[in-house]
Structure 1
Amino acid sequence: MPSLSSFGRRVRKLWHGADLALVGQRRERRMRMLSSLVMIVMGLLWGLFFSSRGYWAIVIMDVTIILSGVAVFALTLRNQARSANLILFGALILIVVASTLLLDPPTLMAPRATHLYLLPVAVGALMAFRDEPLWLRYGMSLFCLLLFVALAASNWRPTDLYALPDDVRIVGSWVQGVAAMALFFLLLHILQSDTAERSELDRDLRAAIREQQFVLYYQPQLNGAGRVIGAELLIRWQHPQRGLLAPGEFIDHAENTGLIIPIGQWVLEQTAAQLRRWKDDPLFGDLGLAVNISQKQFSQSSFVAEILGLIERHGIDARRLELELTETLIVHDMEDLTRKMTALVEHGVRFSLDDFGTGFSSLSHLKRLPLSKLKIDRSFICDVLTDANSETIVRTVIALGQSMGMTVIAEGVETEAQRRFLADNGCTQFQGYLLGRPMPLADFSTFVQRHNG
């Protein structure tokens, strides 16, 4: 089951929309790719120009720019935003500082101007690293500003060998000054607009929590006999103006702002209440509900007490509540994780590991954690019949789960051939569009009656 923190990544294949968070991410991705292409092209042009004049020190810098552009482009394609941004801004700072010192030394006729580009670079860093730790976001910007002050207040340069003629630099100072300030203003405008968008989303999310505008959808989980054994809970936001919103339109922002905690608490409360309503119903009493727990929610010191209080308050069978963890969560604090999981397992709560094989967990993690279920990620299921590596991974995960006494469930099952392959290799539980899409509670109840009645 996708975690609350990973809903955005997982549902983009299934839901389409122009949410504010994804618009910003796509815009940043396009800007990085465009910047990398500009770096490659400019590096090639200037490299050819200066190599024809024998300025090999500058040619080396141009080669560095080209390689940096290629690296940024490749990392952006692989969605490694932090690494791409670090290389991009490192290269930009190198270009500006080296060009200022080597090509643009101050004289009585022509002052320095290239260092002015450090101002828009500083603003760009605030945007690119906005979701990173504060030391990185503000550290990069402050570093650019300190370099700007140092270059503006100093006439030092290592050599005049590569300095452009004054008549070129006089015109260039005006051109570069206007260009740098225009870029500075443009980035400030984008930063302000982005801040306003995030503030609007933040305000709407807080209202949604206060007014309980969220709804839960149920995606059926079936066993090999075709009976419904439970469901995965997926959250939706019934926005008063924008309609029903998928998790990808707000969960990432909720994670970054901490609003994921009250949202997660609401999901757990609704889950327990539904299990209580089903408790005495012979058709629904044996069904389990799976809820994923975000890292911030799980790290709360009161988490165990809240779950146990929820179970006691609603009088539900703890075995019907399944908490799903993602691989990225279990590598942060194994001692705290193990302690909390053990305390809850002793009271009957079940745990499953989502996204297995896509994160950072190891066999040592599986050995230490009291897990009852492994969930094979949909990325392996989608091409299990055509890709030998995916087939091997799926077979291995199923065998591993069986050997460790865990149930194995496959998500993203979309064809009968996939389901048959999984069943033939020992997988006993299935979830996916072939079996049932996420649906409102009323539709899920009808679905259960049709399959289990």
Structure 2
Amino acid sequence: MTKYFMVDLFMFASSFFKKHKKNYRSVKDQQLTIAAKANIFICIIFCLFWTIYFAFAQMWLIVYMDIFFTLISIFSLFLIYINRISAGILLSQVVLLVFPVVFCLFFDIATVDRPQVAHLFLPAGAILGYLNYRRDPSYLQFILILLSIGCFIFFSGTSFNLESAIPLSEDIRNHGGWIATCAATLMICISIYTMQLEIQIENSMVKDLRLALAKQQFELFYQPQINSSETLIGAEALLRWQHPTLGYVPTKDFIPAAETFGLMPEIGEWVLAQGCKVLQDWSTKAETKDLTLSINISADHFMQASFEQTVIGMVQKYQINPSRLILEITENIALNNCVSMIEKMHFLSKNGIQLSLDDFGTGYSSLSYLQKMPISQIKIDRSFVQAALDDKRSNKLVTGIIKIGLDLNLRVLVEGIETTEQFSAFKNNGCTEFQGYLWGCPMPLNDFLKQIAHFKK
């Protein structure tokens, strides 16, 4: 059965670069899942083999321990099969940490003729954990990775064991050492090969992103923004990537890669240019001339030395009303370079550009710098929406956020509204502007223009 896992892994690797049939996120998830299943399956077979062996040898303490770790491994495999990938890998990483450490301390005692081998399983757990950390970062995952590496270094450099240790016989260690070494090496090879595939996929994505810019594969979608009387007041422009073979690639799949490889300033400049073109076109039509357009700005794009001059240059080039352009920045931008950021914001504000603080309440800088920022709007993150209806403390928090905004004469927009109940609740709490699926999902420009007539005037 291990053979089938290896066939799956190699077939998957070769087929990906021949046929782009899935989005990047699902591809990376699939390869990580295959690697995790293969490694966990090897653990299960390894533990079952020694369970049977030590049962015949009547070494019941090791038998019970092997059964315990086998059951945990089976459960982690089950979690992965039901698509709880991160949880399954975390649990398997615990097994690949605790099992070798316990064996090194109590049973696998180094001798003049035979070294310890149980600790060889630790790198496999660390590599697999690193792949999972790249996919879904967490402090627990990071700690497990560090512990696995630290324990591997410790047991590789010392022959430490406990006084209560029960050394295995030389006959068992003679054959068992080779079996354990082969199993651990196979698991390490699978994990390294998966890491290589992930790097290749990321490199392929970067090449495709550069090609997307050159061949105009990016597109802006528009999500309606309305006021408390449900009158359309504008839209948020959201980037979409129309890949020639993958179709629409979700932003969560390619934006992190674009940020990592420094492509966001170039992509962001394209978005700004497209947004200004749209505002120029809207300004010539009675039904759209008063609409605003919100554009998200990444931190590395905003902190470009010539960012503010570029924005003003585009406003002048397309001859648009600067007050119709809203630049959305996140609170985390303030953590990069507060003084420089605020200077840029004041320059843009003096030239008529509106500034919005996106995902308000999810960062750490808002209350410290809010009074210094020349912003005209704050956006309450969608994560607060349902929580405010279900939990009294969350409701009080949201009410406080809205009050802070209104007291500072800021417009308060809440995003992620999906039901009339949510709309009524935030409207009654004083929120002035709204965005969400209740009035429309992000849509191509032509579809957005067709929807304008459906909003109350």
TM over 0.5: yes
What secondary structure is seen at the aligned counterpart in 1 of 2:364?
A: coil
Check the 8 A contact 1:93/1:144 in 2, yes or no: no
Provide the rounded CA distance (Å) in 2 between the counterparts of 1:88 and 1:352. Answer: 44
Structural mapping, 1:62-211, within 5 Å:
96=100, 99-100=103-104, 103-121=107-125, 123-124=127-128, 127-128=131-132, 144=149, 156-157=159-160, 161-162=164-165, 163-211=167-215
Q: 1:214 aligns with which of 218, 224, 227?
A: 218
Check the 8 A contact 1:228/1:452 in 2, yes or no: yes
> Which structure ranks higher in relative contact order (CA pairs < 8 Å, sequence separation ≥ 6)?
1
Do structure 1's residue 368 and structure 2's residue 372 form an aligned pair? yes
What secondary structure is seen at the aligned counterpart in 1 of 2:333?
A: coil
Q: 1:411 aligns to what? A: 415
Q: 1:242 aligns to what? A: 246
Q: 1:283 aligns to what? A: 287
Provide the rounded CA distance (Å) in 2 between the counterparts of 1:261 and 1:188. Answer: 32
Q: 1:333 aligns to what? A: 337
Q: 1:292 to 1:104 in 2, by over 3 A?
A: same
What secondary structure is seen at the aligned counterpart in 2 of 1:215?
A: strand
Q: 1:120 to 1:80 in 2, by over 3 A?
A: closer
Provide the rounded CA distance (Å) in 1 between the counterparts of 2:150 and 2:413. Answer: 53
CA positional deviation for 1:303? 1.4
TM-score relative to the length of structure 2: 0.74
Do structure 1's residue 391 and structure 2's residue 395 form an aligned pair? yes
2:448 partner letter: F
CA positional deviation for 1:102? 5.5
Do structure 1's residue 261 and structure 2's residue 272 form an aligned pair? no
Check the 8 A contact 1:100/1:112 in 2, yes or no: yes
Do structure 1's residue 436 and structure 2's residue 440 form an aligned pair? yes
Give identity over the alignment, percent.
Answer: 34
Structural mapping, 1:340-379, within 5 Å:
340-379=344-383
Provide the rounded CA distance (Å) in 2 between the counterparts of 1:291 and 1:95. Answer: 51
Q: 1:385 to 1:190 in 2, by over 3 A?
A: same
Provide the rounded CA distance (Å) in 2 between the counterparts of 1:182 and 1:104. Answer: 20
Provide the rounded CA distance (Å) in 2 between the counterparts of 1:98 and 1:175. Answer: 18
* Structure 2 alignment gaps of length 5 or more: 1-20
Count of residues in correspondence between the two structures: 401
Q: 1:27 to 1:369 in 2, by over 3 A?
A: farther
Q: 1:294 aligns to what? A: 298
* Structure 1 alignment gaps of length 5 or more: 1-16
Q: 1:24 aligns to what? A: 28
Check the 8 A contact 1:119/1:144 in 2, yes or no: yes
Provide the rounded CA distance (Å) in 2 between the counterparts of 1:341 and 1:90. Answer: 47
2:367 partner letter: L
Q: 1:224 aligns with which of 221, 228, 237?
A: 228
Q: 1:144 to 1:237 in 2, by over 3 A?
A: same
Provide the rounded CA distance (Å) in 2 between the counterparts of 1:442 and 1:207. Answer: 25
| Further displaced range: 208-217 or 123-132 | 123-132
| Further displaced range: 267-276 or 280-289 | 280-289
Do structure 1's residue 305 and structure 2's residue 306 form an aligned pair? no
TM-score relative to the length of structure 1: 0.75
Q: 1:363 to 1:144 in 2, by over 3 A?
A: closer
